[in-house]
Amino acid sequence: MPELKLYNYFRSSTSFRVRIALELKKLDYEYIPVNLLKGEQNLPEYRKINPMGGVPTLIHTLQHKDFILAQSDAIIEYLDEAFPQTNTQSTKLFPTDLKQKAEVREFCQIINADIHSYGNLKTLKYLENNFAATDDIKNKWIHDWFLQGLKTCEIHLSKTSGQFCFGDNITAADCFLVPLIFTSNRFKVDLSEFKNINRVNENCLALSEFQKAHPFKQVDTPTEFRVS
Ligand SMILES: N[C@@H](CCC(=O)N[C@@H](CS)C(=O)NCC(=O)O)C(=O)O
């Protein structure tokens, strides 16, 4: 039995982040689907392991004891430290240098806190249920907040990026950027002005780790979205 289990959903961007990290760390894991559209994240059994009712949740079983961890940023940092680079195939996701590490975290947080939350399913449902927000209003909401955040990411990348978000080495920042672009495309946000974002995204998607983690290749990907 794999010692790592990931409760996640194929097109959740926070899940996609952790799947990329697991692939980059070369870690096997059991994929446990949580169907967000069916509300499985709110079932009492799931809320026991993730009281916030979101995906992903990681379970790391060590000496028959389960360590349960939610929040994609915390999970990725945990994986990086719990499974340090054991061979040249495995990627170190956070730089050792204090300031560089803080900058990677800063970039991840822009995406996690200042962009992702605005497009989250429960945020959109809240707008709909409490303010009678129509699809047009929700679209404007998503586009305005996403574009504001994406512009900030582009400013950062204009200073830090090479092949990837931070120079030519992959970091956790790339695990956050690629899912953000996937979701932005899903919401039809116009990304044409973001040269650095687009370049880094394409470079990442050319790698097998990002391809394996892609939302359209998971066990719970519905057939209409599935690619081989
Ligand atoms: N900050 C959390 C966010 C988790 C989260 O809310 N994930 C979304 C999917 S991308 C979710 O589960 N949404 C469920 C809902 O909105 O009901 C993380 O980074 O893991």
Listed residue (146, 29, 158) closest to 82, CA to CA = 29
Q: How far does the centroid of ligand 1 lie from the alpha carbon of residue 120, in Å?
A: 7
- Ligand 1 touching residue 127 (CB < 6 A): no
Residue-wise pLDDT for 116-126, tens only, equals 999 999 999 99
- Residue 215: asked if its preceding bond is cis (omega within 30°), the reply is no
**The architecture CATH gives domain 4-91:** 3-Layer(aba) Sandwich (3.40)
Band (pLDDT 50/70/90 cuts) for residue 175 is very high
Residue nearest to atom 17 of ligand 1 (CA): 122
Band (pLDDT 50/70/90 cuts) for residue 2 is low
Residue-wise pLDDT for 182-222, tens only, equals 999 999 999 999 999 999 999 999 999 999 999 999 999 99
Give the per-residue pLDDT at 1.
Answer: 54
The domain ranges of the chain are 4-91, 98-211
Helix 195-205 with 172-186: angle, nearest 10 deg = 110
Q: How far does the centroid of ligand 1 lie from the alpha carbon of residue 86, in Å?
A: 30
- Ligand 1 touching residue 112 (CB < 6 A): yes
Residues 225, 3: Cα–Cα separation, whole Å:
29
Query: pTM here?
Result: 0.97
Does the domain made of 98-211 have the CATH classification 1.20.1050.10?
yes
3-state secondary structure of 34: coil
Q: How far does the centroid of ligand 1 lie from the alpha carbon of residue 171, in Å?
A: 22
Residue nearest to atom 18 of ligand 1 (CA): 71
Q: How far does the centroid of ligand 1 lie from the alpha carbon of residue 132, in Å?
A: 22
Q: How far does the centroid of ligand 1 lie from the alpha carbon of residue 12, in Å?
A: 7
Of ligand 1's atoms, which has the minimum distance to the CA of residue 15? 10
Residue-wise pLDDT for 41-86, tens only, equals 999 999 999 999 999 999 999 988 999 999 999 999 999 999 997 6
Q: Which residue has the higher pLDDT, 228 or 158?
A: 158
Give the per-residue pLDDT at 86.
Answer: 67
In 94-210, DSSP assigns E strands to none
Residue nearest to atom 9 of ligand 1 (CA): 12
- Domain 4-91 matches domain 98-211 at the CATH topology level: no
Half-sphere exposure of 206 (CA within 13 A, CB side): 9
